[in-house]
Homo-oligomer: A and B are copies of this chain.
Amino acid sequence: MNSEYDFNREVSDKYSLRGRVFHKIRNDILNGRYKEHEELKEIRIGKELGVSRTPVREALRQLELEGLVQIIPNRGAFVTGIQENDVRDIYAIRALLEGLCARWATERITAEQLEAMEENVYLAEFHAGKGHMEQMAELDNQFHHILYDACGSKMLEHQLIDYHSYVMRIRRKTLSTIERSTASNKEHRAIMEAIRAGKADLAERLASEHMKNAYENMVKNRLYDIYKKDMED
């Protein structure tokens, strides 16, 4: 019998212990509860969550997959350090890949995805007027995930989600000015309209520039200095 299975299913299920531990630690890292280079000890985390070391160990190894944790043999698991150079490189890489993503999305986006994208942009404009920063940040994340989904490439989508997670710790702070947030959403609108108009070259260029702008804004405000100083003591 032809045994079918969805091989594109998410890696870490939320219902196993390992899945729950995975998401807990992941959120704690992204929300800044754990600092850079902080050691994540299996016993302590296991005790905190009421599970044994085994699912914790496996969750930590899954987190290494996302680049949020680094495991050193016989030493332990550490929260990945955010290096200034790495951030620069990631944005350069993302400038290319988000461009490619926008190009492919232009060719393959569905009506539903386009509608979701439009709704996202409109909603963000509303919240921008009200100064709702929390919602803006969330909508920004959402916009990019819609774009990743729309490109129709699991490979590219997975890659971009990984990078997105990696810089989210910083990006949340980067977007925390209403000026950049508003400008960012305008760029989203431009990308969306290029995609809707079927202009692949334009969409690619706009998405690429969107990344460069985000990075330059970050550098200008030197918002990741808070991380830098941790590395210097």
> Footprint of B on A, CB under 8 Å?
5, 7, 9, 11, 13, 16, 19, 57-58, 61-62, 64-65, 70-75, 78, 81, 85-86, 89-90, 92-93, 96-97, 100, 153-156, 159
Contact = CB atoms under 8 A, between A and B. Distances in A.
B86 A155 contact: yes
Which 8 pairs, one residue from A and one from B, show the smallest C-beta to C-beta distance?
A89-B155, A96-B96, A89-B153, A13-B73, A61-B61, A65-B65, A86-B155, A16-B73
B11 A71 contact: yes
Given A7-B81, A16-B73, A73-B13, A93 B156 contact: yes
Main SS class of interface, A = helix
Which of A7, A57, A89 has most B Cβ within 10 Å?
Answer: A89
Contacts of A78: 7
B11 A64 contact: yes
